[in-house]
Structure 1
């Protein structure tokens, strides 16, 4: 496997859009239950023009995972420290691309001085984020009608005391 994680460019928008749409449609069935109204709402902004605008925004840090020349994953971090996107093609799951994207996102967030990364996970992605050290902190209903799990992770947590891992957005690991 030849996996490359790189910064997303506008030219990647079509392929990234296809990753988003296929991942949501095929991997998140437990979340949308093939409900056309939920799928329409969730996929409504997953078009090439919108994805390109996300990649071009100076307040976002966007990545693609490329395997053998094809985009197989996409991730997006906002300047506020929110992981807004982390999706893979169904056939790219369980091969390390998700971990690689997340590691690069976490490194970027830390370089920006973000103390804790946060995200809303679908049920389909919940165990992945938990295995990566993210802490579940409640449920949130998405605007498109899917129940999500709010997760967060202290960045630089290796310098936090053990009890700090249970506090929301502990700042003890900052330098």
Structure 2
């Protein structure tokens, strides 16, 4: 699979919306249990127009994963250091797109000076994030009625953020 990770454009909104909706419906059954009320609530804001708005927000950083000309993944990072989206088409799982999106999001967070990333994971995604160094901080109920795992990850300057500008340490001590 040839894979390109690039900044999402408003023209990607419809394809990215398809990724979100299919991933939630087809990959997150452990979470929604095919409950129509939960699905309606979860999918309610997953429209092309809303996704385009998310992509165009100056406080968000959005990426798409593209394989063979098809958008197969989408991720969104807020300026506050929250990974708000990280979804793949069902057929794209296990092929490296999720890892690539997450790595690029961590790089972006580092470039913004974010010290730790946080996210709410589905039951489906929790092993993925745990395997990439995210710490399980407990369960949190989502607004759409799903129990999620609150994860966070300290962004280490030396390993996670090797290309981030190094900050000078300030010491107000007397070295006599």
Query: TM-score, with normalisation over the residues of structure 1?
Result: 0.90
Matched with 1:91 is: 91
Q: Does 1:18 align with 2:18?
A: yes
Deviation per CA, 1:43-92, whole angstroms, max 9, x where unpaired?
00000000000000000000000001000000000000000000000000
Report the 3-state secondary structure (helix = DSSP H, G, I; strand = E; otherwise coil) of the residue aligned with 2:46.
coil
Whole-angstrom CA distance in 2 between matches of 1:7 and 1:156: 24
Measure how far apart 1:93 and its partner are. 0.1
Matched with 2:174 is: none
Matched with 1:59 is: 59
Tell me which structure has the larger Cα radius of gyration: 2
Q: Which runs of 5+ in 2 are unaligned?
A: 160-165, 168-176
CA RMSD of aligned residues (A): 1.1
Matched with 1:28 is: 28
Question: How many residues are paired up?
Answer: 161
Report the 3-state secondary structure (helix = DSSP H, G, I; strand = E; otherwise coil) of the residue aligned with 2:4.
strand
Deviation per CA, 1:92-149, whole angstroms, max 9, x where unpaired?
0000000000000000000000000000000010000000110000110000000000
Measure how far apart 1:158 and its partner are. 4.6
Matched with 2:143 is: 143
Matched with 1:40 is: 40
Matched with 2:170 is: none
Q: Which runs of 5+ in 1 are unaligned?
A: 160-173
- Runs of 4 or more, structure 1, over 2 Å off, are none
Deviation per CA, 1:149-168, whole angstroms, max 9, x where unpaired?
00000001657xxxxxxxxx
Matched with 2:109 is: 109
